[in-house]
Chain A
Amino acid sequence: MTTAPERAIEQRDALGEPSDPYPQGQVGRPVLRYGGGDRTSGAQRFVADLRFPGSLQVALVTVPVGCADVLGIDATAARAVPGVVDVVTAADLPSPMPRFGVSHTDRPVLADGRVNYHGEPVAAVVAETLDAAQVAARAVRVDFRELPGVYTLDDALAPGAHRVQDPSLRPGHALADSNVLEEAHYTWGDVEAEEARTEVVVEETYTFPMVTHFPIEPGGTVAVPTDAGGLDVYSPVQHPYLLQRTLASVLGLPLNQVRVFAPDPGGGFGGKQNPKLEPLLAFLALRTRRTCRLVLSLEETFQSMRRAGCRIAARTGFAADGALTFHSVDADFLIGAYADVAPRVMGKGSYVAAGPYRIPGVRIDARAVMTNTTPSTAFRGFGSPQVSWALESQLDAGARRLGLDGLEVRRRNLVAKGEAFVRGESAAAADGEWHQSLEKAAELIGWGTPLPPGRGRGIAVGIKPGATSGLSQSLVRLLADGSAIVYAGTSDMGQGARTLWQQIVADELGAPLDQVSVVSGDTGTVPFDLQTSASRSTVFMGSAVLEACKDVRQRVLALYAESTGVPPEQLEERPGVLVTPDGELGLPEAARVALGSLRGEFMGQGTRRLRGKGKHPLGGDAAFYEFNATAIEVEVDRETGELLLTRHVTVSDVGTELNPLQVVSQDEGAAIMGLGHSQMEQLLLDEHGRIRNLGALDYRIPTFKDVPVELVSAAVENHDGPGPYGSKGISEGALLCTAGALGAAVADAAGVVIRDLPLTPERVWAAIQAAEAAEQDAGSAEGPARHHPHRSPVTEE
């Protein structure tokens, strides 16, 4: 009898050719999630579930506008609230105000005389109870003067616009006296010359909204002062070691005095990578010499993280056969009031603004534009979904003009394995058989088969550079009874990293799966890992774990030789076994023999470091690319503008599925998240820069009812990745090109092209109305050639 997960995988494999044989043992099997039982029973402890008896509670004080000068803060009434221990303002922190940030050291611990976005704290109240803290926070009187903040790209780029950042923070920088924080420029070939052989030029502008991560766990921080004058900090972060470094830096402490405990994030998606309020909590704890605890509301989380909005003006040329000739892009990323990692989102996203295509002439000019809004940060896809939306829509526009379909135009332009898609100084070539994913998606959506009226299909591809550099380390201890403990600093935020380490160690050391445990989330015991982001962990940490296992086996071999007198050259270590002159010995048995009666253990170390390249705009070549093909079939209700997704296919180029069940979970989850920004999600601001749809009531994310009628996740496995057993990172692929596929499907179904996300019912309905009105105005004149006889001609807005 097969288990449920095996059935799920069989169903999945039945969709295409059978998967290649998995490497061995546990790897490649749908092993159930490490720690999954606790996650279903309620025993899993997230940061808000941890108890700190005697701790103080923190509430934040903000002002109700997005940009203001703080003229004065009167905490008299707040201090009088029973139970209040302290009210801390900028004046109580070191001067100059400590600042931090991953790309620019620009973010203050507390607003320093100037509020730069709505929700930026100007003071913090510390009290014995949460009620007292919240009541006192309201009693803090903040005298402020609203400033003409900039909340849109046009505001920020207007001559004489309010400057979000004090120019003194970027001394000598050419852009210091503007709201452009950084620019990126990529160019190859000769765009103008290519126009000469161009049949069709498509020139359009696309927008992608600001959206928020909306992790179901809002998060929070607890800071505990230690007797030694240091701090223990609990925060559900993706990058515990970055938080440790940041806190040590702003507090002036050595790293060993700052210990970060990172309980599993209840959803991260990039939003929990970089420090935000932790430095404030650290100062509060050191100041009060008490444990200080802040659990965020969902509203406060909205005000802490979001994806950069984007406006892309694109000009794209096609030869008569559909071959792309040039692509010219101006991409403005609407970032927030502090840099966070947004410049890198802009730089890395725009690096692939010409997509996985063979384009002889390309010009990409991108800018990260600061506004008085929530600092934008990493968010699954890291700039790629924005540029993909524009590029994929351009491809379909060109195809329609040339009488090609969406599949054909991509077939003709998608690069083959080894072929460059980024040319010039920092070239990049396809590291996978990407055409296979495209063809598989087309096959699974039934591309070219007849559809009932009112339905349409779209297909798109997306690409994202994986991680480019950095160190991941692991320790593996093989204990005397053959069980093992893995130390790996990857944060397990739902992707299931620990499950993979368990599988790898089980196979490599011959330990039973349930006798491999994983320790993570503690900088005091677990060795350094740069970060949990960019779908890097399988490749980077996975390789480190693999190497640590090899190190263990070599140590077993050496001690076995010493203990038994068998010459080491007559021994050989292989995954799970020691090969002796008398035959194979299971590694646990070999370890027992080697250790002898006094027992002990073996400890192996593994390291994976990718050195960056100083001159590379991404800091180095991507270790791998995530590639995805998505195809969507949609039914459009012309009366309401509502979209019913009847089938949604996602195919990712995964290298090797180390755990097919987890690959499916990540892939489906990314696909649905992609539908969020494609169909419904957008942060809306009022004229004061406040988020109008702040919270779950007004900000819609996909629910059970928004899942496509059929959602099909498939994978292409060619074992050609740089990770263990040929794996690649896979967690972002399925949302890279969701919008493009959906937009094309809507155009096919309803005959309208929309270039602003999300494709809300209002937008779709309005476009249909406008198209119908235009059609009536044109009388009964024939429209352009119809590629589907039952559908209306496509109207280019």
Chain B
Amino acid sequence: MTSTARIPDHLDDDPLETVTLTVNGSQRTVAVPTHRTLLDGLRDEVGLPGTKSCCAEGECGACTVLLDGRAVNSCLVLCVEAEGHEVTTVEGLSADGLTDLQEEFLNAGAVQCGFCIPGQVVSAEYLLRTNPDPDEAQIREALSGNLCRCAGYQRIVRAVQATAARRSER
């Protein structure tokens, strides 16, 4: 039911496709029209609304998920393309309670309205997995596709730095 910005004609004729994918470690099978995005599939069919929709054109990062471990804008991936792939959403990251990263988001005061935060958390987690000790410029670069209109940017950078420090202590 997520609003999609630009739609082709005759969407109602789109056949339903059966898609099987792994979401947060569990195999899920959903039936979606081919034009539906992974974002739509996760929110409306799998029932995981933690991933948010804003621009629906790959600019804001609110819909970021991990696809086979890589951060992607789920609004730019068709649900059918995820067939056989592995998806991790924000809910999957925090299945066992808040992660160290999520705690540091809170500690740093990075969370205001919260709407962009799931996407920020997923992008930041991806960064830390690929670069455990990022400098500030690398953090800004890695998260530059995630917009925050409350502009908690400086707080989020602090959160990522604090998480990197915590993880290096382990």
Contact = CB atoms under 8 A, between A and B. Distances in A.
Interface of A: 3-5, 8, 30, 32-33, 35-46, 48-49, 57, 81-83, 129-132, 134-135, 138, 213-218, 264-269, 293, 295-300, 493-496, 661-662, 664-666, 668-673, 695-697, 701-705, 707, 711
A4 B107 contact: yes
Given A57-B1, A266-B113, A46 B149 contact: no
B151 A295 contact: no
Interface of B: 1-5, 7, 9-12, 14, 33, 43, 48-57, 59-60, 62, 89-91, 94, 98, 102, 104-118, 121, 139-141, 143-158, 162
Contacts of B104: 4
A705 B144 contact: yes
Contact of B11 (A46, A134, A264): A134
B127 to A, nearest CB: 11
B115 to A, nearest CB: 3
A381 to B, nearest CB: 14
Nearest to B90: A42
A672 B117 contact: no
A437 to B, nearest CB: 20
A153 B40 CA distance: 42
Tell me which of A5, A83, A264, A266 has the highest count of chain B C-beta atoms within 10 A of its own C-beta: A266
B111 A217 contact: no
Contacts of A703: 144-145, 147, 153
A539 to B, nearest CB: 20
A724 to B, nearest CB: 20
Contact of B1 (A217, A293, A297, A696): A293
A703 B141 CA distance: 10
B107 A41 contact: no
Contacts of A215: 113, 115, 149
Contact of A701 (B105, B113, B147): B147
Contact of B152 (A42, A298, A300, A669): A669
Given A40-B117, A217-B115, A704-B144, 5 more contacts: A40-B98, A42-B91, A131-B33, A695-B59, A696-B54
Nearest to A134: B7
A249 to B, nearest CB: 29
A202 to B, nearest CB: 33
Contact of B150 (A57, A297, A494, A664): A494
B152 A696 contact: no
B98 A45 contact: no
Contacts of A132: 12
A134 B14 CA distance: 14
A494 B151 CA distance: 11
A427 to B, nearest CB: 35
Given A131-B14, A265-B113, A216 B56 contact: no
Contacts of A495: 112
A697 B149 contact: no
Contacts of A40: 90, 94, 98, 102, 105-106, 111, 114, 117-118, 121
17 contacts: A36-B106, A36-B111, A40-B118, A42-B48, A42-B49, A42-B89, A42-B90, A44-B114, A213-B149, A216-B116, A266-B116, A299-B5, A668-B151, A696-B59, A704-B146, A707-B151, A711-B154
B12 A83 contact: yes
A266 B115 contact: yes
Contact of B55 (A33, A298, A670): A298
Nearest to A84: B12
A81 B10 CA distance: 10
Given A57-B1, A702-B151, A494 B94 contact: no
Contacts of A265: 113
Given A8-B158, A131-B11, A695 B109 contact: no
B111 A130 contact: no
A434 B19 CA distance: 62
Given A41-B98, A45-B49, A697 B57 contact: yes
Contact of B112 (A213, A669, A696, A701): A669
Nearest to B51: A42
Given A135-B10, A295-B3, A217 B54 contact: yes
Given A48-B49, A264-B114, A696-B55, A41 B3 contact: no
A668 B154 contact: yes
Contacts of A268: 113
A695 B118 CA distance: 21
Contacts of A39: 111, 113-114, 117
